[in-house]
Homo-oligomer: A and B are copies of this chain.
Amino acid sequence: MVVRRSRRGEVMKKISEAVVRRLPVYLQVLSDLSKRDVQTVSSQELGNKLDLNPAQIRKDLAYFGEFGRKGIGYDVSYLIEKIRQILKLDQGLNVGLVGAGNLGRALCNYNTYLKDNMKITAVFDANPAMIGVAINSLVVMPMDQLKDIVVARNIRIGIITVPAAEAQNVADGFVEAGVEGILNFAPTILRVPEHVRIHYADFTTELLSLAYYLEKEGDETDEPVMD
């Protein structure tokens, strides 16, 4: 079995993607609780809110440390702080976006949504007509400045909101410029080197799979039967 070790040599349990993907969800609920001045929360309560098994929540968190207190639960503020550290949100991450179309502009305006020290700090577009256009406090820049700006502003994450046909080119540009992660909104699969992480945010997948679960038009429900 391949095992990672930290510099100090402790075995690092390989943490699955499913676990990592739940962390932002925990963060969301914890932020709500914090706003409502809740001090402490148990895995049971979190599980109720999220439709998740409490044991799973405890196990997820335990991968990263002992954040709870037996008999008490988790301190909301402390847990928020810890999860933010795990997700590197304590660092201040700069994000670049390519594709100043409708979706791209929406994301720029959402910049408050991307709170947590993550911020879109540069927007690019291939269309000459878009260059110089202001989106909030950002000004659209031409693609030939991508690399320079990414380096200059220490941009570590790239967002792609161009049509599918151009997405691979943009990804290549981001990779060459040295970003470490890419979030792709175009409905297409991209090839990037192993050292670059790529996540997909293609809502068409969610929308089309949603259709599967609709009742077939004019179909009666079939009865579940015990076997």
Among the listed B6, B159, B204, B220, which residue makes an inter-chain contact with A113, where contact means beta carbons less than 8 Å apart? B204
Interface string of A185-198 (1 = CB under 8 A from B): 10111000000010
Tell me the smallest distance from the CB of A104 to a CB of chain B, in Å. Answer: 8
Residues of B with C-beta under 8 A to A62: none
Given contacts A157-B214, A182-B210, 20 further A-B contacts (CB under 8 A): A1-B226, A4-B224, A11-B227, A23-B208, A27-B208, A88-B216, A89-B211, A93-B211, A102-B102, A102-B105, A106-B106, A113-B187, A113-B204, A114-B204, A118-B207, A118-B208, A181-B213, A183-B203, A200-B206, A201-B201
Interface assignment of A138: CB less than 8 Å from any CB of chain B: no
Interface assignment of A129: CB less than 8 Å from any CB of chain B: no
Number of copies: 2
Tell me the smallest distance from the CB of A153 to a CB of chain B, in Å. Answer: 15
Interface of chain A, helix or strand or loop or mixed? mixed
Interface assignment of A199: CB less than 8 Å from any CB of chain B: yes
Measured in the bound complex, the distance between the Cα atoms of B89 and A105 in whole Å is 30
Residues of B with C-beta under 8 A to A217: 88, 91
